[in-house]
Amino acid sequence: MAGCKYKYYVFDAYGTLFDVHSAVAKFAGEIGDSADRLSQIWRTKHLEYSWIYGRLGIKKSFWQLTGDSLDYAIASTGGLADEALRDKLLNAYWTLDA
């Protein structure tokens, strides 16, 4: 582009460089049989929320989408025996495996 002094490089770190399922994997024993399903729903809903809100022009932070999509996944899989586990899962998202 003539006259453009900036170049932008965009890449998807979440799901490409980071293992987005590692947060749930760390607590699979505490979650139980629904761990894999919860992880899949969490990831899918996170992407869907970002697409829908982006398309509608609604601004939500990455972390708000992460929490909202986790809440949806938890509700879809019957809830968690330990409510503190939700916070553990969100905190684990800060340090995903590569």
Which 3-state string (H, E, C) describes 7-58?
CCCCCCCECCCEECCHHHHHCHHHHCCCHHHHHHHHHHHHHHHHHHHHHHCC
86: in domain: yes
Query: Does residue 5 form part of some domain?
Result: no
Task: Give tens-digit pLDDT for 11-47.
Answer: 677 767 889 999 999 999 999 999 999 999 999 999 9
Evaluate whether residue 9 is within a structural domain.
no
Residue 5 has pLDDT above 80, yes or no: yes
| Domain count within the chain | 1
Q: Mean of the pLDDT values across residues 76-84?
A: 92
Residue 13 inside a domain? The answer is: no
β-partners of residue 97 are: 19
Q: Report if residue 88 sits inside a domain.
A: yes
Could you confirm whether 12 is annotated as catalytic? yes
Question: Tell me, what DSSP letter sits at residue 95?
Answer: G
Q: For residue 50, tell me if it sits in a domain.
A: yes
Question: 63: part of which helix (H) or strand (E)?
Answer: helix 62-76
The verdict on residue 58 lying in a domain is yes
Give the global pTM.
Answer: 0.84
- Tell how far CA 34 is from the center of its chain: 17
Name the helix (H) or strand (E) containing 86: helix 84-92
Q: Does a structural domain hold residue 1?
A: no
Work out the angle between the directed axes of helices 84-92 and 62-76 (0-180°, nearest 10).
Answer: 130
Which residues form the domain of 26? 22-95
The pLDDT of residue 1 is 54
* pLDDT score for 2: 66
Q: Which of 12, 36, 71, 82 is catalytic?
A: 12
First and final CA of the chain: distance in angstroms? 35
Provide mean pLDDT across the span 66-92. 95
CATH of the domain at 65: 1.10.150.240
